[in-house]
Amino acid sequence: MYGDTVQVEYLDVSEPAVQAEYADLMISQAQEHCLPYPLVAIEGQVRLAGGAEYYRIMPLVEEAGAAYRS
C-alpha cells in the first residue's frame, strides 16, 4: 500500500541494547510522562501509548505519508 515510504519496526524495550539506542525517546517521552507500553512512534515522536491497534495507527501513518509527499 505504501511501498518504500513506510518502515515498520518492532523493538522490545526490555532489551538493554534497545534501551541504549532509543534512550532519548524512552527517557524524554515515555518515562517522563509515565506512558504505558506499547508505544507507537512515528518519525521519532511517540504518537500512541498503551495500545497499537491498526485503526488507531493507520490515520497517523496516512498523515505522516501526506507530509512526506508534500
User: What residue type is assigned to position 36 of the chain?
Assistant: P
* Residue 45 φ then ψ, to 5°: -115, 130
More confident residue, 32 or 53: 53
What is the Rg, in whole angstroms, of the alpha carbon atoms belonging to the chain?
13
* CA-based torsion, 40, 42, 44, 45: positive or negative: negative
More confident residue, 22 or 57: 57
Local confidence band at 56 (pLDDT 50, 70, 90 cut-offs)? very high
Domain that includes residue 38, residue range? 3-69
Number of domains observed in the structure of the chain: 1
The secondary structure element, H or E, covering residue 23 is helix 23-25
Residue 10, classed as helix, strand or coil, is: coil
